[in-house]
A = this chain, B = another copy of it.
């Protein structure tokens, strides 16, 4: 297990004069804190004896019902008993890896992939094989190649970990036309699909892509989260899993933490019951779309020739590729000195490749800061590209 580069970066880049395009913190300023405060006060005063007490490892039944309503927006027909509430969907990833992978087993994941998932795969000594994406997400033919190569090498491929919508960090979305094909390939090779979908409701056109789980309930484990659509600090996520995985997951939850925090589950349940949560998600969507637009404009305007980037239709991230000769990891201290931070691409690959990439987040800073941050970043890149500039750090 090793420290994630991204979080180490948070500390360096946390000074107020630095524009951080590095983190993945949701922009909570749009939340109705006054109404939430009243709701939580009522909850503690009237139902505190339940909210402050132990509960089941499976999660509170009323919350699991509401979670099914949320997933229905993505075409998923689920039973509340198949939902397991977790302490953030990171816990779902971690416990699923523990349950499903033995040391040496292969996990297929997009290249690049979510750093927190890579951390859990490494912790359980699973071996990550990255599968390339293009602008339409995971490439089915590349998935076939990776599977054949692994089988030929005598490796056991346990699962495909995928973020089909508004990918972290790549910013791309798996094309509708590829979804059935990917599912079919995985079924044919007896590989379980783990669909991680924290951003699915944050598509800028307002329509949620149909989840992989919606058409293949038996071979897809679905991970959901309220961290990006409500409040990350509550740490409430969930797993929707086929029976056998679900039963083992409940036991793993019990071993991991006895039960997810009862108070937090009730806060989310009452929020979903009593607020216009879909309206709130629309507010978030507008806020992130505006920031995405500002970032894309600034990239177009300021970045030196030879840089390319993805164009996200939702979520938090743009994935930038810089010209040959630039090492984004080596460049980072110089960027921070120029008062801008980003996440170097190398943190998003199990083998630490990705030195010509970086993830830029537009979720948290103001539009003005995003504009200024990209301007500063462009200056750093230009200096880096000057003839004779040493990239040693």
Binding site for B on A (CB under 8 A): 1-4, 7, 25-26, 28-29, 31, 33-34, 36-38, 40-42, 44-45, 48-55, 57, 87-88, 90-91, 94, 98, 116, 119-120, 123, 227, 231-235, 248, 251-252, 254-264, 267
Q: Is the CB of A3 within 8 A of B232?
A: no
In the complex, what residues of B have CB within 8 A of residue A259's CB? 235
Q: How far is A257 from B257 in the complex, measured between Cα atoms in Å?
A: 11
Q: A125 vs B51: C-alpha distance in the bound complex, in angstroms?
A: 34
19 A-B pairs with CB atoms under 8 Å apart are A7-B57, A7-B254, A28-B48, A33-B49, A36-B44, A36-B48, A37-B42, A38-B41, A40-B40, A40-B41, A54-B232, A54-B233, A87-B235, A87-B261, A123-B255, A235-B258, A256-B256, A261-B261, A261-B264
- When distances are taken between beta carbons in the complex, the residues of chain B under 8 Å from A248 are 1
**Complex Cα spacing A55 to B26, Å:** 12
With A254-B119, A255-B116 already in contact, the answer to whether A231 and B52 are too (CB < 8 A) is yes
A269 to chain B, nearest CB (A): 13
Bound complex: CA A259 to CA B262 (Å)? 17
Q: Which residue of B lies closest to A120 (CB)?
A: B255
Nearest chain B CB to A186's CB is how many angstroms away?
25
Measured CB to CB, the nearest residue on chain B to A258 is B90
> Within 8 Å CB of A263, what residues of B?
231, 233-234, 263-264, 267
A87 to B25, CA, bound (A): 21
- Are A29 and B44 CB-contacts (below 8 A) given A257-B94, A258-B90? no
> Inside 8 A of A57's CB, which chain B residues have their CB?
7
Residue of A29, A57, A91, A248 with highest tally of chain B CB at under 10 A: A91
Tell whether, in the assembled complex, residue B33 and residue A251 are in contact, meaning their CB atoms are under 8 Å apart: no
Say whether A94 contacts B256, CB under 8 Å.
yes
| Complex contacts, A90 vs chain B, CB 8 Å | 255-258
Neighbouring B residues of A52 by C-beta, 8 Å: 28, 31, 231-234
Smallest CB-CB A-B distances: 8 pairs? A233-B262, A41-B41, A52-B231, A37-B45, A37-B44, A33-B48, A52-B233, A235-B261
Closest to A267 in B: B263
Complex Cα distance, B98 from A29, in Å, reads 38
Shortest distance between the CB of A198 and any CB in chain B (Å): 12
In angstroms, Cα B250 to Cα A154, docked, is 35
Q: How far is the CA of A53 from the CA of B233 in the complex (A)?
A: 4
A48 neighbours in B (Cβ, 8 Å): 28, 31, 33, 36-37
Chain B residues in 8 Å Cβ range of A51:
233
Chain B residues with CB under 8 Å of A45's CB are: 33-34, 37
The interface centre, meaning the residue of A45, A54, A116, A251 with most chain B CB atoms within 10 A of its CB, is: A54
How far is the CB of A333 from the nearest CB of chain B, in Å? 22
Closest partner residue, chain B, to A34 (CB atom): B45
Tell me, in angstroms, the Cα distance from A234 to B36 when the chains sit together.
Answer: 18
